[in-house]
């Protein structure tokens, strides 16, 4: 079974491909020659995930899944949330976004935060969604050089390391993306048996 993963983010692709599902081949937008922008016009992670999956599935008339992830910081009233990838502006880099969070969190005692991922599997005009959440905290400074995005300033509950200090294998023990993907993989195994 071949499924398109609606992303051009190579970091996300690498994380998802590290979570192997027997008998399922995951192909990226690059693999199918898609170079356009995927729509993300909604105010929630769930809606954006669905929009991307539906758009691609209908365009290529095939199975497709998309994910949308947000960092939700309590002291920032849930920001950056659905705007995590462009928190510091439409052309923001990972560094710009991290700097903005660190700046807004300066002096905050409440460092609680969570990563939330929603995967949407879209097939034949029907869809299913799978959610993964990892609770943690925002660090006061960057620590580590692995991963991407907000990884250097996020420490998951139950760990002494930031995501950016972890190998991909270690990160998958805590990962919000892996939690949602495990639910998705379980669903796929049931429908392909």
Give the whole-angstrom CA distance, residue 83 versus residue 72: 10
Burial code of 151-183, b = ≥16 C-beta within 10 A, e = fewer? bbbbbbeebeebbbbbeeeebbebbbbbbbbbb
pLDDT of residue 74: 98
Q: How far is CA 79 from CA 111, 115, 137, in A?
A: 13, 11, 14
Q: How far is CA 180 from CA 21, 34, 106, in A?
A: 14, 25, 31
Q: How confident is the model over 147-165, as a mean pLDDT? A: 97
Asked whether residue 193 carries a pLDDT value surpassing 80, the answer given is no
The reported pTM is: 0.92
pLDDT digits (tens, 9 = 90+) for 57-107: 999 898 899 999 999 999 999 999 999 999 999 999 999 999 999 999 999
Q: How far is CA 137 from CA 45, 66, 188, in A?
A: 20, 26, 32
pLDDT band at 110 (very low <50, low <70, confident <90, very high): very high
Asked whether residue 154 carries a pLDDT value surpassing 60, the answer given is yes
Q: Where are the alpha helices (DSSP H) in 92-175?
A: 94-105, 168-172
pLDDT of residue 140: 97
pLDDT band at 138 (very low <50, low <70, confident <90, very high): very high
pLDDT of residue 78: 97
What's the chain's average pLDDT?
92
Whether 68 is catalytic = yes
pLDDT of residue 39: 85
Centroid of chain to Cα 59: 22
Which domains occur in the chain, in start order?
2-192 (3.90.950.10)
Q: How confident is the model over 30-40, as a mean pLDDT? A: 87
Query: Residues 68, 82: contact at Cβ < 8 Å?
Result: yes
Instruction: Point out the catalytic residue in the list 31, 68, 125, 151.
Output: 68
pLDDT of residue 192: 62
pLDDT band at 157 (very low <50, low <70, confident <90, very high): very high
Q: How confident is the model over 31-56, as a mean pLDDT? A: 91
């Amino acid at each position: 079974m071949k499924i398109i993963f609606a992303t051009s983010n190579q970091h996300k692709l690498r994380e998802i491909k590290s979570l192997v599902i027997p008998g399922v081949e995951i192909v990226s937008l690059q693999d199918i020659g898609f170079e356009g922008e995927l729509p993300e016009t909604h105010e929630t992670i769930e809606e954006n995930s669905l929009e991307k999956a539906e758009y691609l599935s209908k365009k290529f008339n095939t199975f497709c899944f998309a994910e949308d992830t947000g960092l939700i910081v309590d002291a920032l009233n849930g920001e950056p949330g659905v705007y995590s990838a462009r928190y510091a502006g439409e052309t923001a880099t990972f560094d710009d976004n991290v700097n903005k969070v660190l700046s807004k969190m300066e002096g905050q005692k409440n460092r609680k935060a969570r990563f939330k991922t929603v995967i949407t599997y879209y097939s034949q005009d029907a869809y299913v969604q799978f959610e993964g959440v990892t609770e943690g905290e925002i660090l006061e400074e960057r620590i580590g050089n692995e991963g991407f995005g907000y990884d250097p300033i996020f420490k998951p509950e139950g760990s002494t390391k930031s995501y950016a200090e972890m190998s991909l294998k270690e990160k998958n023990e805590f990962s919000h993306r892996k939690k949602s993907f495990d639910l998705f993989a379980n669903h796929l195994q049931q429908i392909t048996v």
